[in-house]
Amino acid sequence: MFTLRKVFLALSVVMFFNACSSSSSDDNGTDGKDAYDRGELLLNLADNIIVPAFLDLNTKLKTLKTDKDNFIATPNQTNLETLRGSWLAAYKVWQSVEMFNIGKAESMLYGFQMNVYPTSVQEVETNIANGTYDLTHPNNNDAVGFPAVDYLLYGVAADEASIVAKYTDAKYQTYLSDVIDQMQNLTEIVLNDWTTSYRDAFVKETGNTGTSSVNKIVNDYNFYYESRLRAAKIAIPIGHFSNTPLPEKIEAFYNQEVSKILIQDALNAVQDFFNGKAYKGSSKGESFYSYLVYLERDDIATLINSRFNDARTRIDVVDANFYSQINTDNSKMTMIYDALQLAVVSLKSDMMAVFQVSLDEGYQDNDGD
Amino acid sequence: MTFKSYFNQYTNAAPLAVFRMLFGLMMCYGMIRFWYHGWIDTLYIQPKFNFTYFGFEWVKPLGNYTYLLFIICALSAIFVAIGLKYRLAIITFFLSFTYIELMDKTTYLNHYYFISLMAFLMIFLPANAQLSIDNLIRKRSYQNIPKWTIDAVKLLLGIVYFYAGLAKLNSDWLLQAMPLKIWLPSKYDLPLIGDTLMHQTWFQYAMSWSGMLYDLAIPFLLLYKPTRRFAFLLVVIFHVFTRVLFPIGMFPFVMIASTLIFFEAGFHKKIIRLIKDVFQNLKPSTLIATQSNYKYTFKKPLVAFIGLFFVFQLAFPFRYLLYPGELFWTEEGYRFSWRVMLMEKMGISTFKIVDAKTGNFFYVDNKDFLTPFQEKQMGSQPDFILEYAHYLGDHFTAQGHKNVQVFVESYVTLNGRLSAPYIDKTVDLYQEKESFKPKHWILPFNDDIKGL
């Protein structure tokens, strides 16, 4: 008993000092490694990916605006084609931006005013007929943004000549003009917020709390990938959540030919962000990938990339026109979904388990089971 | 000392009285805290659906009356604290608190179970023998109470610690430092120790091992007088430290306050004197007769009953031995066994509703039915998955869908292992029934965790 007591005491003393020897070990002990610099991570994400993407989108939207002005001034087929070209160019860049629903974008519900689809033809036509509308109103979320412009440029009439003819009507001119101007306006507001103040706030918030930048961007990223990329672009139109396929719910339904290009761009953007690849050029910086490697989980980091690659391979083989692909052979679309879903498992389960980013504010008590 | 003479021993009532008061105060605070954070609404009122315990499916939130339930619980806790109508108060507290815990197992925490058990035990203890309003009303207090009544509280506390220690005797915890290896580095933003210690491998192992040793040793260090003060210091350090590291709510404070009962009566008498000094002005004119020993009316059956209670407590956590498969993976027999902070488990479960005749199917968006917290808990626990599958089956059948079958595709990661398929996706869960039998549709765990 006496020796047992001594053993207990000795062990207790050891663990006491283990538990409490806090600041004495900044000498990087024998197996010591430096702490991961999350500031570096945020800096790379903000300066090399997020802000350049917003900048590019704003430029593309300005071009869209100019081409729209030209088209309205002279509604003809050539100007319509030019306008459609700049719409697609901007829509493609949008795929690199939508996941950053943070800061100003989050507070003014930017995403909801840019890319809610399917767009409501009825809402759009009612607005046009009335001539008065509040484009920022939540009821108008499905009557603005890229999907509304998609309708206005491709679906507003049955054939090319009649589409051009629509824009001799001042009411159609005004609505097209207002919607596009609004998109550029909103984007500029978000961009300016990033360049003037939010960027500095963003890179400073390195903590692990519900509101810190690392946590928010990780949660946003996962949410975007699961709900916007996987669900909205693929799962919903292929009928994953419904009894029958809903091909009219594809992105860019009225154009119909670009859904594939858009999801390809979106997937590239998601993967580049994961790997910390700069928006312009091919330089790489700190990223979710390098953070996983730092946490000695190269296996997860590699697996996520290979799952993204698998999904891309599956996308590459389907028709550019998702509407007809769904109607002719939906099984190929289901294979895309399956591949995308596997990456959800890796991101939401494996990566999140390792990152230990708190899900959300809210119920916090937990004893780990 | 014979068995019989032990149960005839008496000891000063002060430690149990102080324990009762602290317990009541903390429970009342716990209820208010729950309300203050808005959790009554988010956890019990907002969800469309609540995960129930097997056999307690009838325990459901009461709509807006749920608030009333919390008020009753908080009030009864105050009554316990001041010792007013103690027996009725502790019974009310036990029932209301346990009802709250049974409403949704999403919120299951070991320490809530501990509180339910402790409240149940306290129903049978003379915790109002001193320092209670009951003393004033009945004009009677007691100097001494049977020694076993205080020992029963110590035993329950000892079981919680010791079993939590036993549960840590496994290869993940000791040889891989899991899940602390995952959890600690995420605390990088703590002052001083955040970016110096948390990511160090040696620190993660040191924490794992010292946590295990602490849990196993602390009941004995507290019982043994020469080590008691030191043990209490450890209790405080350990729980404050875990409080800093993990969001474990009230638990650290409950344990710190509870372990005070291990101290001698003299210490508690001082506390009582202090309290009486504070309330000096309120001293009633009536005289209280202090009787020496509190005597139970039905001593023998009661002692037998409490004995059975503890036999159950000692045996119940080992029920997992009756199930095949890895406990951490299947979680059959995991709850109610003092397995605290042992697993980092995350899962994703997607449900497929199939028409058995036509083969038509669609998938469910879990967000339509579950809160994020519920979805997180459901994702990696088989009994949640089964109950939810039945809920979905009933829901879609009621909507007019025919020949409904419910399948799940589920992936789970456990203590850093890559996500692996979890549930047999060819099994129609709508046809499977909840029971205590092993769940054959849980896929085998492709690894080995050694130990208890």
Q: What span, in angstroms and rounded, lies between the C-alpha atoms of A339 and A312? A: 9
The three-point CA angle B262-B264-B269 to 5° equals: 120
| pLDDT band at residue A206 under the 50/70/90 scheme | confident
Which pLDDT belongs to residue A19? 43
User: Strand pairing of B345-355 and B420-421?
Assistant: unpaired
pLDDT at A301 over 70: yes
- Residues linked to residue B145 through DSSP beta bridges, in sequence order: B11
pLDDT at A25 over 80: no
User: Strand pairing of B289-293 and B140-146?
Assistant: parallel
Tokens of A115: 């890319």
Angle (deg, nearest 10), helices B110-123 and B14-36? 140
pLDDT at A210 over 80: no
- Go through chain B and tell me how many residues it has: 452
Partner residue opposite A33 with nearest CB, options B42, B107, B199: B199
What residues contact residue A90 under an 8 Å CB cut-off, 6+ apart? A57, A60, A61, A63, A64, A146
The predicted-structure confidence for A91-124, as pLDDT tens digits, reads as follows 999 999 999 999 999 999 999 999 999 999 999 9
Find the mean pLDDT for residues B394-417: 96
Q: What span, in angstroms and rounded, lies between the C-alpha atoms of A248 and A254? A: 9
Neighbours of B240 (CB within 10 A): 13
- The CATH topology of domain A37-206 is A middle domain of Talin 1 (1.20.1420)
Which pLDDT belongs to residue A150? 98
CB B406 within 8 A of CB B392: yes
Distance, in angstroms, between A34 CA and closest chain B CA? 8
Q: Name every chain B residue with its beta carbon within 8 A of the beta carbon of A212.
A: 189
Domain boundaries, chain B: 3-167+264-319, 344-431
Q: What span, in angstroms and rounded, lies between the C-alpha atoms of A81 and A102? A: 34
Check CB contact of B343 with chain A, cutoff 8 Å.
yes
Partner residue opposite B185 with nearest CB, options A30, A295, A299: A295
Determine whether the interchain pair B362/A243 forms a contact, defined as Cβ–Cβ distance below 8 Å.
yes
Estimate to the nearest angstrom the gap between the alpha carbon of B288 and the chain centroid. Answer: 38
Distance, in angstroms, between A281 CA and closest chain B CA? 32
CB B428 within 8 A of CB B386: no
pLDDT at B76 over 90: yes
Which pLDDT belongs to residue A94? 98
- Residues linked to residue B413 through DSSP beta bridges, in sequence order: B346
Check CB contact of A12 with chain B, cutoff 8 Å.
yes
Chains A and B: how many Cβ contacts under 8 Å?
180
Determine whether the interchain pair B335/A35 forms a contact, defined as Cβ–Cβ distance below 8 Å.
no
| pLDDT band at residue B19 under the 50/70/90 scheme | very high
State chain A's mean pLDDT as an integer: 89
The predicted-structure confidence for B320-378, as pLDDT tens digits, reads as follows 999 999 999 999 999 999 999 999 999 999 999 999 999 999 999 999 999 989 999 99
Q: pTM of the prediction?
A: 0.88
Residue A198: name the closest of A129, A105, A71, A267 by CA: A105
Q: Name every chain A residue with its beta carbon within 8 A of the beta carbon of B413.
A: 349-350, 353
The predicted-structure confidence for B394-404, as pLDDT tens digits, reads as follows 999 999 999 99
Residue B237: name the closest of A305, A196, A349, A17 by CA: A17
Chain A residue with minimum CA distance to B231: A12
- Its ipTM equals 0.82
Partner residue opposite A242 with nearest CB, options B210, B241, B362: B362
Which pLDDT belongs to residue A20? 41
Which pLDDT belongs to residue B2? 77
| pLDDT band at residue B223 under the 50/70/90 scheme | very high
Determine whether the interchain pair A243/B195 forms a contact, defined as Cβ–Cβ distance below 8 Å.
no
Which pLDDT belongs to residue A2? 42
Most A-contacting residue of B186, B343, B345, B417 (CB-CB within 10 A), to test interface: B186
Find the mean pLDDT for residues A18-28: 36
**SS3 label, residue B218:** helix
Q: What span, in angstroms and rounded, lies between the C-alpha atoms of B337 and B449? A: 18
User: Strand pairing of B404-414 and B361-363?
Assistant: unpaired
The predicted-structure confidence for A121-137, as pLDDT tens digits, reads as follows 999 999 999 999 999 99
Which pLDDT belongs to residue B438? 96
**SS3 label, residue B141:** strand
The predicted-structure confidence for A138-183, as pLDDT tens digits, reads as follows 999 999 999 999 999 999 999 999 999 999 999 999 999 999 999 9
The predicted-structure confidence for A246-300, as pLDDT tens digits, reads as follows 999 999 999 999 999 999 999 999 999 999 999 998 999 999 999 999 999 999 9
